[in-house]
Structure 1
Amino acid sequence: MSRLQLTAMVVGGMVGAGIFSLPRTFASATGPLGAVIAWIIAGTGMYMLARVFQALAERKPDIDAGVFAYAKAAFGDYPGFISAFGYWIGSCIGNVSYWVLIKSTLGAFFPMFGDGNTAIAIAFASLGIWMFHFLILRGVQQAAFINSIVTVAKVIPIMLFIVLMFVAFKIDMFSMNFYGGDLTGGLFEQVRATMLVTVFVFIGIEGASVYSRFAKKREDVGAATILGFIIVTSLMVLVTLLPYAVMDRASIAGLRQPSMAGMLESVVGPWGSIFISAGLLVSVLGAYLAWALICAEVMFAAGKSKDMPAAFSKLNKNGTPVVAMWATSIVIQLIIISTYWSNDAFALMLNLTSATTLIPYFFVAAYGFLLARRGETYQVRPQELGRDRIISTLAVAYTLFMIYASGFKFIVLSAVIFAPGTILYFIARREQGKPVFAKTSDWVIFGLLVAGAVYGVYGIATGAIEI
């Protein structure tokens, strides 16, 4: 894959469902001031994380599919598995959010789709899942080429939205919305309420790192990560802030998702909603393709490194991880069915994706921190040591803050998913004739996961935890 294709994987992975939902999602929580602070925190933290990914890609070129492999290198086998499983399941949940938003978008034109959780909507999404499944089985390179084309196509409606929002800009409206209007709660709480959203829309920043084994040049991995980050961050900040200058905050918060469609309709009329909805369908389908590829690649790499059962390392004649792809599609299908009983399926999938993905991100930041602290690999370009220590420290602080900001509910729900997932680790260790948990710390981590899972299941059953 060229630098352009790797950059397209980053942009394609990041620009999906989230960016089209930003106006309402932010307006429900805060005004422009809180939004600016949230993006400064998120942008700075994710930039530091992107720089850690870049440094690790250059300094540890032997580690492929780095998201979980870095956790294993830093903390051992079971944390490595937790990172791989968390990243995979979080990505699967994120893929479900794409289908939920597609169904909700169609619901604006075809009432039978409702808000995306009707039986007909679920059947439609199921058909799409398996169409993409068999497309991907035909070969990764073919799918990556399609993703490059789709990435260009889906940025066009976003750019038009930004231009038209600038044209309709009203400074007095922006000023009125600046502090959040009639929102209750302090500025800190407003910012905290947006944090999981910013994680969700930044997920995909590691797209080039995941596909590092396909890169023509190793240095292209880091360059594609930074370039993709700059492009997407610029788009997301503008999509968030400009609507505040066109419509009052409460009205933006009341828009149907995807709220970008309602915003453009308020400026140019009904065709704006249709145009954005069409762009969203292209965008989300492209993002789903990119993320289905990433899901399968992570499980393949984990199977190859024996962190998952060996079956996941099996390739078909087209070089696609066939068992990993089947497992990914089946899990997505099951979660899609579960949305039938969810009160707000899109919000649940968005927040749960962010919470489960933060754990692997923390491990990546921590590994970068450990390398810099020990000076490992810094015999080459030692002048970068001080800079990388600062960057990795900030990346660790950011991921820990985000885990805190996610809230107790989603930490517990993550445990409900992680604990039973350990069955895969049990199988992988038995295949190798190794003890399941080699360290006391592994038992402690597993014990905490089980305790959290038990509490989570009890909370869901009694209604204390709403989904």
Structure 2
Amino acid sequence: MVVGTMIGGGAFNLISDMGAQAGGLAIIIGWLITGIGMIALGLSFQNLTNVRPDLDGGIYSYAQAGFGDYMGFNSAWGYWFSALLGNVAYGTLLMTAVGHFLPMFKGGSNVPSIIVASLLLWSVFLLISRGVKNATIINMIVTVAKMIPLFLFLVVMVIAFNFDTFMTGFYGMTEHGPKEFDIHDVMVQVKSTMLVTVWVFLGIEGAVIFSSRAKRRSDVGKATIIGLISVLIIYMMITILSQGIIIQNQISELSNPSMAEVMGHVVGKWGAAVINIGLIISVMGAWLGWSLLAAEVPYLAAKDDIFPAWFGKDNDNHAPVNSMLMTSLIVQLFFFTLLFTDKAYNFAFSLASSAALLPYAFSAFYQLKFSRQRSRKQMLIGSVASVYTIWLIYAAGLEYLLLTMILYFPGIFVYRHVQKLHGRSITKIDKILFGIITSLALIGIYFIIKGQISGF
């Protein structure tokens, strides 16, 4: 589940998503920061799973336990929308890959693409409705299948790697040639990679979300760490080796999926076809995995009286049918918006990454808070994870902060409704947070109307 949800479509476009604006040095630094931060976050999930086995909701229940109902609700709400938008990005990238074989789907954001993606969306809904266990078995099979083209790609990259090409773009490049070393410019490049690294690591908490369904609690933490380190090594090899194949200032010109373009550059059209087939398999698996996650979070939150009780209904197959239905309807709505942007994939994955930052941050903060008087080692891990998530919010930038607040804004009314139903009062801190989120959301809407936010 961890590997299957992390290695989705993002891995197949990682070369251009990271390398378009960053040279080899910035990419290496970016992965070092990401590796340290994500391992600390993974260890936090592992520790909290062990010391708080009663918190079966994982990613949102940590925020609730440490910082109250409203932050717990926001973590569930943000994570849910992150998963929704991840599925939108997967749908777009999937149809782009199909467009390699059938030109009518080229680009992934036209009417034929939306129709087929919608049919697949509701097919996944029907599959999950037949039971979560069946869906996870299929996810495991797909995970194994999609690793084959990835390993083939890495073998070809190792053989074809050119050290001179890699060093030419090591500090980044302009249209006219290589850049000289400039630490400020390198860090700007590093900053540009951060939302991409979050996107490709979304799913690190996959085992934690399903911890209530695990036979052995100890397996949850082990799966998280083993899956994380394995995927980190694969990602580093994909991005670093590719800069020794395609010179850095030409990477931004690669079309989606960029891995197919690079493979085709080395071995010809058959290589691009193999990668596109791998992408189609991979996205279908990741789409299934993320649909499971997207349905599970509101379902668990409803069981904990944070979301409306309607989300907590399951069917005879023990599948969260209402939660899955609402999830699919919202994804369908987002699919229709793809007609209005030519940067659908990049916009969807960036916003999905941004929406996940708050749930990640408050999980890290709770690790720090819970460990403060219990374990210096765990407190250090929590400190590193907290600093990393704060850095991610800064690196994402104001634009995505405002867009994320627009997503969080409707949650205010849902939260007030749920609190009222359960006879719980709205605290003063809640009201202050309502005001902050509302203000930032209104500023974001204003900037969209003025055309000052990219993606629209």
Q: 2:95 aligns with which of 84, 103, 127?
A: 103
Matched with 2:326 is 327
Rounded Cα–Cα distance in structure 1 between residues aligned with 2:6 and 2:57: 17
How far has the Cα of 1:400 moved from its partner?
0.4
**Correspondence for 1:32:** 24
Pairing 1:329-348 to 2, within 5 Å after superposition: 329-348=328-347
For 1:100 and 1:257, the matched residues in 2 are separated by 10
Find the residue that maps to 2:114 and give its secondary structure: helix
Match of 1:353 in 2: 352
Look up the match of 2:46. Answer: 54
1:321: how far off? 0.6
2:303 is matched with 304
State the Cα deviation string for residues 401-433 of structure 1 (Å, max 9, x = none): 100110000000011110112222122122212
For residues 454 and 266 of structure 2, the distance between their equivalents in structure 1, rounded to whole angstroms, comes to 36
The percentage of aligned residue pairs carrying the same residue is 41
Mapping of 1:72-111 within 5 angstroms?
A: 72-111=64-103
Give 1:418's aligned residue.
408
Aligned to 1:454: 442
Separation of aligned partners in 2, 1:136 and 1:281: 19
Describe how 1:172-321 pairs up with structure 2 within 5 A.
172-182=164-174, 186-321=185-320
Would the aligned equivalents of 1:23 and 1:253 in 2 still touch at CA under 8 Å? no
Cα distance in 1 for partners of 2:434, 2:2 equals: 33
Give secondary structure in 1 for the equivalent of 2:173.
coil
| Runs of 5+ consecutive residues of structure 1 not aligned to the other structure | 1-8, 376-384
Stretch deviating more after TM superposition (280-289 or 245-254): 245-254
Is 1:407 equivalent to 2:406 in the alignment? no
Alpha-carbon offset, residue 213 of structure 1? 0.6
What SS is found at the alignment partner of 1:115? coil
Displacement of 1:227 in angstroms is 0.5
What's the TM-score once normalised by structure 2's chain length?
0.97
Describe the SS at the equivalent of 2:243. Answer: helix
For the residue of structure 2 that corresponds to 1:46, the secondary structure is helix
Q: Is the 8 A contact 1:252 1:263 kept in 2?
A: no
RMSD of aligned Cα (Å)? 1.1
CA apart distance, 1:461:
1.4
Q: Report the secondary structure of 2:387's partner residue.
A: helix
Whole-Å separation in 2 of the counterparts to 1:445 and 1:272: 51
Q: 1:443 to 1:374 in 2, by over 3 A?
A: farther
Give the match for residue 131 of structure 2.
Answer: 139
User: How far apart are 1:342 and its partner, in Å?
Assistant: 1.5
Say which SS state the counterpart of residue 175 (structure 1) adopts. helix
Residues in 2 aligned to 1:426 and 1:442: alpha-carbon distance in whole angstroms: 10
The residue type equivalent to 2:378 in the other structure is D
Question: Is contact 1:419–1:453 with CA below 8 Å preserved after alignment?
Answer: yes
Kept in 1: contact 2:89–2:348 (CA 8 A) = yes
For 2:379, which of 376, 389, 396 is the aligned residue? 389
CA distance in 2 between counterparts of 1:24 and 1:79 reads: 35
- DSSP-derived class of the 1:276 partner: helix
Match of 2:37 among 30, 45, 57: 45
The structural deviation recorded for 1:253 is: 2.0
Give deviations 1:339-391, integer Å, cap 9, x for gaps: 1111301111111011110000001000000011132xxxxxxxxx1211111
CA contact (8 A) 2:264 2:272 kept: yes
Does structure 1 conserve the Cα–Cα contact (< 8 Å) formed by 2:169 and 2:249? Answer: no
Within 2, Cα distance between the matches of 1:106 and 1:249? 27
| Partner SS state of residue 316, structure 1 | coil
Consecutive unaligned residues of structure 2, counting only runs of 5 or more, are none
In 2: Cα distance, 1:26 partner to 1:79 partner: 32
**Alpha carbons 2:26, 2:186 under 8 Å: kept:** yes
State the alpha-carbon separation in 1 of the partners of residues 424 and 382 from structure 2.
33
Distance in 2, matches of 1:136 and 1:24, equals 33
**From 425, 431, 441, the counterpart of 1:443:** 431
Aligned length: 448
Letter in 2 for 1:159: F
Give the drift of 1:247. 1.7
Structure 1: which amino acid aligns with 2:429?
S
Deviation of the 1:73 alpha carbon = 0.2
Give, in whole Å, the separation in 1 of the partners of 2:373 and 2:123: 48
SS of match in other structure, 2:59: helix
- SS of residue matched to 2:424: coil
Q: How many angstroms does 1:252 deviate by?
A: 2.1
1:464 alignment counterpart: 452
2:169 matches 1:170: no
- For normalisation by structure 1, the TM-score amounts to 0.94
Which string of whole-angstrom CA distances, capped at 9 and with x for unpartnered residues, describes residues 26-61 of structure 1? 221111111000000011100000000000000001
Corresponding letter in the other structure for 1:405? A
